[in-house]
Structure 1
Amino acid sequence: MDVRKVLAPVGLVVVAGVLVSMAGTIQTGNVGIRTTLGVMSPEEIGPGVYLKWPVISSVHEFSAKDIVIDLSDLTPKAKDNLSLRDMDVSIYYRVNAVSIAELSAKYASQSARHDDGYFMPAYELIWRIARNSCYEEIAKLDSLVIHTQREQLGVAIRTQLQEELERNDPGVFVVSRVVIRSVQTDPSIEQSIQQAVANQKKLEAMQVQTEIAKKEADIKVTEARGIAESNQIIAGSLTREYLQHEANMALLKFAEKGNSNTIVVPSGMTVTPLISTGK
């Protein structure tokens, strides 16, 4: 038996195993940072396969995609010095891929490791600045109106956070969005908010009732004006000649019946005469 023929496949397997052990992969959207003998390389490793150099170097994978920071159970004070019972905010940010190596060296202890194994660059730094931005923006609003301005509050926090990051590291960070997940005020504030809402609804109802009453009054005025104008027209048409004509027509109808005793009182007579009817 030729031993070389038997050992050849084994050798190939060993070589393949060694090559595999010396290769690593970087996921799409991430970059790798190589550290050799304690010195960090300034060049990022792009997505795909890279060679490992056991013992003398190591490669850490960093995310260049959107990273979410969940800030929970915040209790900032509003402008009126009343504290919120609870505030939950989600911050979405990403880092320019070509700046991750430099950023990792600058903020070496500020990155956080994700459960999937890669690192989130400057996570701790963003966490602290974002939390501070939330407290500062809440301090500009009254507690009674915060629940009605969640969207505006999110925009304000994002703007302040982006400006702060640009001040120290221009062109490195992008805060893509800020979502206010929950805002819960103190129970006493909640009661005040509910009372304010109830009063607003009551005011709106009273305004509607006032408008209805005004319309009804307008209708009555219009009807009264119509009646007055109608009476004025009728009064203007009742002339003396017209009334005498109507009286003559009424006497004519009595005369045509022939079985009626009719008393005709002369016009303008101030004393009613006593007239015998023949009975």
Structure 2
Amino acid sequence: MEKLPKIGLPILIGVVLLIIVLAKSAVTLDSGHAGVLYETLSGGVDPEKAPLGPGFHVIAPWNRVIDYETRQQEVAEKMAVLSSNGLDIKLDASILYQPEVKSLGKLHNQKGEDYLSRVLQPAIRSAARSVVGRYTPEQLYSSKRDAIQEEIFEETKKLVEPQFIQLNDILIRDVTLPSTIKEAIERKLKQEQESLEYEFRLESARKEAEKVIIEAKGKAESNRILSASLTDKILQDKGIEATVKLSESPNSKTIIIGSGDSGLPIILGNQ
């Protein structure tokens, strides 16, 4: 150190201090993240100031940046709720959410970094209890699951959106009922399916019988009309037409005119 010029030592110290200050002042945010600037000398986070985006930032060394992930995130939630008739139901759900980027300052000031446990999870539990309480176990297990999922989503959304959280979806992965109730529902559903199949077979047989009756009636009506139209005069005319055609045939034959029934000719021959 004694060999350093007198002016060189202050420069060296200044460079070291500058490096330390830059190290404390430099902040890098990854893609899918945003930063809330906490200004120590200005009373904390300004909720109206836009958050810092991904990339490299230099801030005053006495300030700090709170890093928030802004991409869609998923959290699994297992809930115990009651059906409309008071039975214990367990729901296994996935919540897809993300913070509102433009409102990160407000979210930080009002809810903090642990907004998931403070806002989102209590909201979905409350919505699930409210929605499931309107339905029977059978509806939860079978026909109404999609409707229930949508209702839970809509009610949760109403609760969290005013608190600067964007709710993207809620997926009900599983509904667990007491085993005795589940078995009873499955037996009932099986019986209903068998009953529907039996009714379908009966309906098919009824339609086939109606088809046969309609065809028979049509055939009988056709025969009636045909019989009514075949008068003696028509038969005689047809017989004469046939006699003329036969007489033109090269086959040997004997035709006795007016000797048959109703005056029709009698045809004698080898063919």
RMSD: 3.9
Matched, 1:102 2:106: yes
Amino acid paired to 1:138:
V
1:26/1:32 contact within 8 Å kept: no
Aligned match of 2:135:
141
Map Cα deviations across residues 164-211 of structure 1 (whole Å, 9 max, x no partner): 235xx36x3321211112112221221122123212221221122112
Task: Pick closer, same or farther for the CA change 1:105–1:227 going to 2, 3 Å.
Answer: closer
Query: Hey, what's the Cα distance between the residues in 1 that align with 2:169 and 2:222?
Result: 70
Could you tell me the TM-score, scaled by structure 2's length?
A: 0.67
1:90 deviates by 1.6
Aligned match of 1:60:
66
SS of the residue aligned with 1:75?
strand
Aligned match of 2:57:
50
Task: Pick closer, same or farther for the CA change 1:39–1:238 going to 2, 3 Å.
Answer: same
Question: Higher helix fraction: Structure 1 or Structure 2?
Answer: 2
Matched, 1:213 2:219: no
Amino acid paired to 2:38:
R
Amino acid paired to 2:27:
G
1:103/1:122 contact within 8 Å kept: no
1:104/1:122 contact within 8 Å kept: no
Higher mean alpha-carbon deviation, 187-196 vs 136-145, is at 187-196
Q: 1:150 aligns with which of 145, 150, 161?
A: 145
Aligned match of 1:31:
35
Map Cα deviations across residues 1-38 of structure 1 (whole Å, 9 max, x no partner): x967x99xx98995785333431112334222315169
Matched, 1:190 2:182: yes
2:51/2:101 contact within 8 Å kept: no
Aligned match of 2:23:
20
The equivalences for 1:1-279 within 5 A come to 14=16, 17-18=19-20, 19-28=22-31, 29-36=33-40, 39-42=43-46, 43-47=49-53, 48-51=55-58, 53-54=60-61, 56-72=62-78, 74-84=79-89, 86-108=90-112, 111-112=113-114, 121-147=115-141, 148-166=143-161, 169=162, 172-222=164-214, 224-225=216-217
Unmatched tracts of structure 2, length 5 or more = 233-259
Query: Hey, what's the Cα distance between the residues in 1 that align with 2:218 and 2:202?
Result: 24
1:149 deviates by 2.7
Could you tell me the TM-score, scaled by structure 1's length?
A: 0.65
Map Cα deviations across residues 222-248 of structure 1 (whole Å, 9 max, x no partner): 455367558767987799xxxxx67xx
SS of the residue aligned with 2:105?
helix
The percentage of aligned residue pairs carrying the same residue is 18
